[in-house]
Amino acid sequence: MNVAVAKTESGRAVSDLFASAEGRLPGSPAVVAVRREAFETYERLGLPHRRLEEWKYTDLRAMVGEVLPLAVAPDAAALSRAADAVKAHAFEGARKLVLVDGVFTADLSDVKALPAGVSVTTLRETLDKTADLLTTASTDAVISLNAAMATDGVVLSIADGAQPSAPVQIIHVATAPSASAFTRSQVRIGKGARPTIIESFVSAGASAYQVNDAVLVSIGDDADVAHIRLMDDAPDAVNITSQFVTVGANVKLNYFNMTTGGAVSRLQGFITFAGEGSELSVNGVNLLKKTEHGDLTLLVDHAVPNCMSRETFRAVIDDRAHSVFQGRIIVRPDAQKTDGKMMTRALLLSDEAEADNKPELEIFADDVSCGHGATAGALDDSLLFYLRARGLPEKDAQALLIQAFVGEAIEQIADDDLREHVIGVAERWLGRRS
């Protein structure tokens, strides 16, 4: 029998990736066994490709080719660059939790100044005791790879009833070029808690790096949560993130993602309603240029009755960039009175820009209200002319209309300062465009 060794396009054996990293991966012997198994799953599947329905628009095998070796620990110069990047991207007043090249960095974090009701440990510490955080409800190749390779992450806990006086911002900083960072975090939100969680992905001068992140979120009953994710990685970076969110009863979850960086990115969210009476608002913005590829894939699972989900997605696509939205809503047989809607709009700024949109409704209950809509088009010439006739230069007129277009999604962020912060990130993207 012939046993072929799986190899990447560059000829490097896939198993080398794990073998060379294994000594640096934290965890007890039990954890190591779980990692090995996860890596074997990844080895068997390989990077996702277009023949898999869930990945048909984002063919990682073709676009990424191979997974880069694990980043080495940052030196003093890299840490100093990371500190600058943290300063530049921090939301004012937020308590920062910083991961540099996939490793929690206490020196750059506000661990000693956490608001009441907020506690933090790291994945590294947790893995000394248990491998629980390495298992998830569903897996695919990238999630398995993440379980095998995760070096660190934030384990954040918000106590029951806590109303933290400041937002918590998890900042992922890349300093190592041509290397990978694997992170896995957990966010546990107690009953009735009202936290604001921000996640930021930024580069501190690094290029051509890869990020594979996983976040496990559980939200207790009656909580009111704002979760904002800003992916602003280097323009030649890869960012693949999987988020698993379990929503309790009578929860209000306002989730926002904005992608302004990355050559290839995908955020896949798996959101499950586990308790009745909850309301989910998911708002996504992709701002893409050059040959960037940005994919937002959401699975909203209405497993219980009487929940509401709203998905609003806006993509601004310039040059030859490619935006993907896949929205799947499952309404289980018992989930009567489900109200689930998604609306996506794409603004194409060039003839070669591409938007793919795949809504899927799988409805097994009979008393529900579900729907989806999608539009794609260019900037409205009559609006452009109106603004120019009032004195706005063409680029400024375009920028104002683009801001207005994405504003509909950004407006859903309730906090004024945070909304302004997000608008600032979008404006920087617009500035880079012109």
63, 361, 383, 423: residue in contact with another protein (rule CB under 8 A): 383
Least distance between another protein and beta carbon 13 (Å)? 52
Site for another protein in 397-416 (CB under 8 A): 397, 400-401, 403-405, 407-408
Least distance between another protein and beta carbon 225 (Å)? 26
Site for another protein in 342-381 (CB under 8 A): 380-381
Count Cβ neighbours within 10 Å for each residue of 318-341 and write b for 16 or more, e otherwise. Answer: bebbbbbbbbbbbbbeebeebbbb
Q: Which is nearer to another protein, 267 or 317 (CB)?
A: 317
Q: Which of these ranges, 107-115, 206-214, 277-285, 387-395, lies near another protein under the rule CB under 8 A?
A: 387-395
Q: Which is nearer to another protein, 112 or 390 (CB)?
A: 390
Is residue 113 at the binding interface for another protein, with CB under 8 A as the rule?
no
Q: In what order do the strands lie in the sheet with 224-232?
A: 103-104, 95-100, 168-174, 196-203, 224-232, 252-259, 279-288, 308-317, 339-348, 369-377
Measured torsion, CA atoms of residues 36, 39, 44, 45, in degrees rounded to the nearest 10: 150
Least distance between another protein and beta carbon 410 (Å)? 9
d(CA 159, CA 239): 30
Least distance between another protein and beta carbon 177 (Å)? 38
Picking from 240, 340, 214, the residue whose alpha carbon sits closest to that of residue 282 is 340
Is residue 390 at the binding interface for another protein, with CB under 8 A as the rule?
yes
Least distance between another protein and beta carbon 403 (Å)? 7
Count Cβ neighbours within 10 Å for each residue of 20-34 and write b for 16 or more, e otherwise. Answer: ebeeebbbeeebeeb
Least distance between another protein and beta carbon 412 (Å)? 13
Is residue 388 at the binding interface for another protein, with CB under 8 A as the rule?
yes
Rounded to a whole number of angstroms, the CA Rg of the chain reads: 21
Least distance between another protein and beta carbon 316 (Å)? 13
Quote the Cα angle for 328-330-334, to 5°.
Answer: 170
Q: Amino acid identity of 172?
A: H
d(CA 275, CA 304): 6
Burial class (CB in 10 A: 0-12, 13-18, 19+), 92: exposed
Least distance between another protein and beta carbon 392 (Å)? 5
Q: Which is nearer to another protein, 247 or 413 (CB)?
A: 413
Q: How far apart are the first and last CA of the chain?
A: 59
Q: Which is nearer to another protein, 394 or 417 (CB)?
A: 394
Tokens read off for 296: 């937002």
Q: Which is nearer to another protein, 3 or 389 (CB)?
A: 389
22, 37, 66, 396: residue in contact with another protein (rule CB under 8 A): 396
Q: Which is nearer to another protein, 366 or 381 (CB)?
A: 381
Is residue 423 at the binding interface for another protein, with CB under 8 A as the rule?
no
Binding interface with another protein (CB under 8 A): 380-383, 385-394, 396-397, 400-401, 403-405, 407-408
